[in-house]
């Protein structure tokens, strides 16, 4: 009798998406979404002037479990819970290491970078 082979973990062709940024008061917020909703999530992030990134880098894979689940509403808007400034800084660093040094929470540069007005 042969033993059944263990199932291989499924590797998703659509990695999870993390959306993050600063609210108008400068408070960091973030949410994670399933990869199957990537197009809608990216559209909502653009409308809200937030950053969306696929969880493809090793450091982002480590961080994704610490990010609260976000909600995507039928109107195409996203709800993102607030996160701690330290976690926000880790997200900025992991998503764009070259810009991370200048993007401290509350700084004007961080707001411009995350809204896509800078680099």
For residues 116 and 119, what is the distance between their CA atoms, to the nearest angstrom? 7
Task: Indicate the pairing of strand 51-54 with strand 71-72.
Answer: unpaired
Residue-wise pLDDT tens digits, 59-78:
999 999 999 999 987 776 67
Helix (H) or strand (E) holding 85: helix 85-95
pTM metric for this prediction: 0.70
Residue-wise pLDDT tens digits, 23-52:
999 999 999 999 998 999 999 889 889 999
The residue extents of the domains of the chain are 17-114
For residues 47 and 30, what is the distance between their CA atoms, to the nearest angstrom? 15
Answer whether 51's CB lies under 8 Å from 78's CB: no
Strand partners, 25: none
Band the pLDDT of 53: cuts 50, 70, 90: very high
């Amino acid at each position: 009798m042969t033993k059944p082979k263990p199932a291989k973990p499924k590797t998703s062709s659509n990695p999870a998406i993390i959306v993050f940024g600063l609210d108008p008061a400068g408070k960091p917020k973030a949410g994670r979404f399933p990869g199957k909703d990537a197009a809608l999530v990216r559209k909502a992030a653009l409308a809200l002037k937030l950053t969306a990134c696929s969880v493809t880098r090793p450091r982002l894979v480590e961080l994704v479990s610490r990010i609260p689940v976000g909600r995507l509403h039928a109107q195409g808007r996203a709800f993102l819970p607030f996160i701690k400034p330290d976690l926000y800084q880790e997200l900025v660093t992991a998503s764009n290491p070259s810009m991370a040094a200048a993007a401290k929470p509350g700084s004007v540069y961080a707001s411009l970078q995350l809204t896509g007005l800078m680099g």
